[in-house]
Amino acid sequence: MATSSPHSMKSLLIILSVLIALSLFASSEACGISTYWGQNSSEGTLLDTCDSGLYNYVNLAFLSTFGRGGEPVVNLDVKEKWKLSTDIRACQSKKVKVLLSLGGPVGNYCLSSADDAKQVATYLWENFLAPNATGELGDAPLDGIDLNIIAPCSRDYWDELVKALAAFDSTQKKLYLSASPQCVDYYLEPAIKTGLFDHVSVQFFNESSCDFKAGLDKLLESWNEWSTLLPAGNQLFLGVPASQNASKTGYIEPARLKSQVLPAVRAYKNYGGVMVWDRLHDKNYSETIKPDVCKNMLHRHQPLISMV
């Protein structure tokens, strides 16, 4: 049997180490902060949000009415929505992904069948996602779709919507899909189990049984359950309110988030970052936590192969 020379073995170890390092670098680079924008004009423009340098993803909130053959409604506090295309392109030039978020706490949204889900997916593609899209937000194609499904008529067919959207993903255009369920979720588990989401931002607020109000142990117990639920390749974001006024419960002071929560959740291999709700209330929260959001990401993995 042929044996490898010390030189070839060392070369192999170097190659393996480089590949692992690149993988770790990619994982660290993918980490970041997401937020929601569009519910209040006093939060500043979309371009202001992207110019802040704080966010990797901005979700336009919300497409609050759709499904059952009805007329979709984009509920943004913007006078001339079609002019957003300029800001969208500017955000994308800064490597900020801009997604349209479906649902939200107030609205009229529901999927009545698998065919209904496919029709909604086609509407989204033709109006907001396709390279030649010319919908309500202008002619700048968005990067993807976010599902913030917390008040629908039922939990049915959201997995069908995700599958139909994913079918538009291609080598010509990467279509980003994200979800933002509450930490006690009633609607999105079947969709999440498809494994088609790039990241899932779990809302650890307004649910006193699993947010920080219940204590750190309860939050981390829920985080662990979500981490286990997510299919391989999906990233998990920690969803937190940006201020005490942003939610009824679940606010975590930045210092406590940095010292107690982030070190624990960063240890999970599918940790992807933090979702901050929302831009209106984010006065200094993201700026304060940003240095710690992706800190020590490499420590989640096995150490590099020794070449000594």
∠ at Cα 8 (5, 11), nearest 5°? 150
Sign of CA dihedral 165, 166, 169, 175: positive
Query: Does 24 map to a domain?
Result: yes
Query: What letter does residue 72 receive in the DSSP assignment?
Result: P
Whether residue 42 has pLDDT greater than 90: yes
Express each pLDDT in 222-276 by its tens digit: 999 999 999 999 999 999 999 999 999 999 999 999 999 999 999 999 999 999 9
- Give the separation between CA 13 and CA 22, rounded to whole angstroms: 14
Query: Does 190 map to a domain?
Result: yes
Query: Does 143 map to a domain?
Result: yes
CATH number of 164's domain = 3.20.20.80
Looking at 102-196, list the stretches that DSSP marks H as alpha helix, in order from N- to C-terminal side: 114-124, 158-166, 189-192
Helix axes 158-166, 114-124, angle to 10 degrees: 40
The reply to whether the predicted model has a pTM over 0.75 is yes
- Give the separation between CA 28 and CA 40, rounded to whole angstroms: 32
Whether residue 15 has pLDDT greater than 90: no
pLDDT value at position 3? 54
Question: What residue numbers bound the domain in which 258 lies?
Answer: 20-300
Reported as a pLDDT band with limits 50, 70 and 90, residue 141 is: very high
Express each pLDDT in 47-65 by its tens digit: 999 999 999 999 999 999 9
Query: Does 307 map to a domain?
Result: no
- Give the separation between CA 49 and CA 278, rounded to whole angstroms: 11
Query: Does 8 map to a domain?
Result: no
pLDDT value at position 131? 94
Whether residue 12 has pLDDT greater than 60: no
- Give the separation between CA 239 and CA 204, rounded to whole angstroms: 5
Tally of domains in the chain? 1
Whether residue 6 has pLDDT greater than 50: yes
pLDDT value at position 17? 40
Length of the chain, in residues = 308
Does residue 56 sit in helix, strand or coil? coil
Query: Does 10 map to a domain?
Result: no
Express each pLDDT in 122-138 by its tens digit: 999 999 999 999 999 99
Query: Does 35 map to a domain?
Result: yes
- Give the separation between CA 154 and CA 214, rounded to whole angstroms: 28
pLDDT value at position 170? 85
Query: Does 130 map to a domain?
Result: yes
Whether residue 21 has pLDDT greater than 80: no
Mean pLDDT of the chain: 90
∠ at Cα 279 (67, 288), nearest 5°? 140
Reported as a pLDDT band with limits 50, 70 and 90, residue 300 is: low
- Give the separation between CA 100 and CA 37, rounded to whole angstroms: 10
Beta bridge partners of 180: none
Phi, psi (degrees; rounded to nearest 5) at 270: -95, 10
